Amino acid sequence: MIDILTAAQLFFPNEKDIKCEPLGNGHINSTFLVTTSRGKYVIQKINTSIFKDVNGLMSNVQAVTHHIRKKARAEGCDPERATLHFMPTPNGDRYLNLNGDVYRIYVYVDNAYTIEKMENEEDFYWAGVAFGKFANDLSDFDASKLSETIANFHNTVSRYNDFEKAVEANISGRRDEVTDEIEFVRARKSFTSLFVDRLNDGSLPVRVTHNDTKINNVLFDEASNRPSTVIDLDTVMPGSYLYDFGDAIRSGATHAAEDEKNLDLVDFDLGLYEAFTKGYLSQCKDSLTEVEIELLPYASIMLTLECGMRFLGDHLNGDVYFRIHREGHNLDRCRTQFKLVSEMENKIEEMKKIIEKYL
């Protein structure tokens, strides 16, 4: 393994003085800020244990960012602040592969900041604007040209089958302690196919999706406090707009932590739901089909149930996928998601009215 500074020097062979320092708090790739005489850049070591198809990943990222920059130019916007700008290696390659260690580099977006914890409805509204514009900018991009870099990422039927395998195997020996949670999922088995069936029969269009629509994946401009750039593009691949909308609501329309142990503190805030919906639809409502509009109210329930299933499955498998920091951590996460599912189900009619309001 080589160190990050050595990797950075290979991208800038003529630079005499290069500085590297850790950047951000991502859990998958190793990310560093690189300072050179030419400017600032971000270098990342890609986690190839998760992203096995690096060629497909980088092809996706470059195709999508090129498309967004083209749209920005047409709109008279700064294309270098509209999306990330990945740099080739000195040999013109998309990334460096150094004995199995894979590195890529992109231009650092200066004078920008992220919001790690959503504090108010205005923040969530602007996150909705950012992800809605991302969807709209790519609404005319042929998603079939993209690779599926993580197979069945939001395929809830596949996720349900994985969950049942975890229940059957019971590797951790914890199955008898979580019978209520298991029954919660099984009662919703038929629901898990709602989106997948429609994607398979073609009534739900396949779209370019981000697949990690948390608010901290939006860069805000320091001067205007408005969204500048959607970042963390590694999971961009074919999917459904419903995935991005639903996961944003799952992660943002509650005041509770994802691993909150006191379920009385877990809430689904319709004010936050409305703020994001208003921002999102302000940008992409004209791109949505009738089927997408019909299913949009169920998106947050689906993605929250999926996440809870995954946490519960990992708890049963012995905590082998999600990093834990205490005994029963994945079970706490699972219960939080299931509490949110129940609250969303109880408020589905209000959610439908909010969506209708902004259409």
Which residues of the chain form CATH 3.90.1200.10?
Answer: 121-358
Q: How far apart are CA 107 and CA 91, in angstroms?
A: 18
Over residues 7-16, mean pLDDT: 89
| DSSP class of 184 | H
Q: How far apart are CA 67 and CA 83, in angstroms?
A: 10
The answer to whether 120 and 255 are in contact (CB under 8 A) is no
Q: How confident is the model at residue 26 (pLDDT cuts 50, 70, 90)?
A: low
The answer to whether 218 and 115 are in contact (CB under 8 A) is yes
pLDDT at residue 1 tops 60: no
Q: How far apart are CA 1 and CA 262, in angstroms?
A: 43
The answer to whether 8 and 34 are in contact (CB under 8 A) is yes
- Over the stretch 158-215, which tens digit does the pLDDT of each residue have? 999 999 999 999 999 999 999 999 999 999 999 999 999 999 999 999 999 999 999 9
Q: What's the confidence (pLDDT) of residue 14?
A: 85
Q: What's the confidence (pLDDT) of residue 49?
A: 85
Question: Which amino acid is located at 85 in the chain?
Answer: H
Q: How far apart are CA 209 and CA 199, in angstroms?
A: 14
Over residues 241-268, mean pLDDT: 96
Tell me the CA distances in angstroms from 106 to 11, 98, 222, 301, 334, one per residue in order: 11, 18, 20, 35, 36
Q: How far apart are CA 16 and CA 29, in angstroms?
A: 26
Q: What's the confidence (pLDDT) of residue 43?
A: 95
Over residues 207-233, mean pLDDT: 95
CATH (residue range 121-358): 3.90.1200.10
Q: What percent of the chain has pLDDT over 70?
A: 99
pLDDT at residue 88 tops 70: yes
Which residues of the chain form CATH 3.30.200.20?
Answer: 4-110
The average confidence (pLDDT) of the chain is: 94
The answer to whether 37 and 15 are in contact (CB under 8 A) is yes
Tokens describing residue 299:
């998106």
Which residues, 6 or more positions from 223, have their beta carbon under 8 angstroms from its beta carbon? Answer: 111
CATH (residue range 4-110): 3.30.200.20
Q: What percent of the chain has pLDDT over 90?
A: 87
Over residues 225-249, mean pLDDT: 96
Q: How far apart are CA 266 and CA 256, in angstroms?
A: 5
Q: How confident is the model at residue 2 (pLDDT cuts 50, 70, 90)?
A: low
The model's pTM: 0.94
Q: What's the confidence (pLDDT) of residue 167?
A: 98
